[in-house]
């Protein structure tokens, strides 16, 4: 991989950084995200009630409290904080802050659910080439930012010659549908 200065120049020119020579065995897909939380039961309830995640069996060999949830092809691992002091809730929802994003097809349904549960959220709109993407941002019980969007409307446009790999076959994609939308002009 090039040094960070060269990478920054390539980003500014709209070109993907050149891959390292001999790069192989890259990740296949996102498996899970992990969050430290003040109350595992409270966080399980939130991710179940608000986002539809399902509690699944967690290996019994762990020597710490936690829970695993799964849905939509991704897991959420919740780890009980050893520090029982309340986590500091962010005072303002900032879409430019670190967050995890899930896409959905019915933004109004999500907004109604958040309103029913008195969960504060902010909205944003991304417009690109006649395509509109709606976004909702809110915090989980521990202050982690969550985004819900209809990002499937936005096409994936690689900046270099076909760097994307199919997780099933690990071959270059010619043209396929990603979680973001239609992948265009690859290979």
Select which of 6, 80, 147, 168 is catalytic: 147
Distance of alpha carbon 129 from alpha carbon 40, whole angstroms: 42
The structure tokens listed for 150 are 């209809």
Distance of alpha carbon 82 from alpha carbon 79, whole angstroms: 9
Nearest to 47 by CA among 1, 126, 102: 102
Give the CA radius of gyration of the chain.
19
What residues pair up with 100 in beta bridges, in sequence order?
146
Nearest to 151 by CA among 100, 185, 117: 100
CB 102 within 8 Å of CB 146: yes
Nearest to 176 by CA among 160, 155, 161, 159: 155
Catalytic status, residue 65: no
Q: Provide the annotated active-site residues.
A: 147
């Amino acid at each position: 991989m090039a040094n960070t200065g060269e990478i920054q120049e390539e980003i500014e020119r709209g070109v993907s950084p050149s891959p390292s020579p001999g790069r192989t065995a890259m990740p296949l897909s996102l498996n899970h995200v992990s969050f430290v939380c003040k109350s595992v039961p409270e966080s399980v309830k939130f991710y179940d009630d608000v986002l539809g995640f399902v509690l699944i069996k967690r290996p019994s060999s762990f020597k710490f409290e936690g829970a695993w949830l799964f849905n939509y092809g991704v897991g959420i691992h919740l780890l009980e904080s050893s520090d029982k002091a309340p986590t500091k809730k962010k005072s303002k929802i900032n879409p430019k802050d670190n967050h995890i994003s899930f896409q959905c097809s019915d933004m109004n349904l999500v907004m109604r659910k958040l309103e029913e549960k008195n969960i504060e959220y902010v909205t944003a709109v991304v417009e690109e080439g006649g395509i509109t993407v709606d976004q909702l941002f809110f915090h989980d019980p521990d202050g982690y930012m969550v985004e819900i969007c209809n990002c499937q409307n936005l096409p994936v446009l690689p900046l270099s010659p076909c760097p994307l790999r199919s997780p099933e076959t690990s071959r270059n994609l010619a043209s396929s549908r990603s979680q973001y939308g239609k992948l265009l002009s690859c290979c």
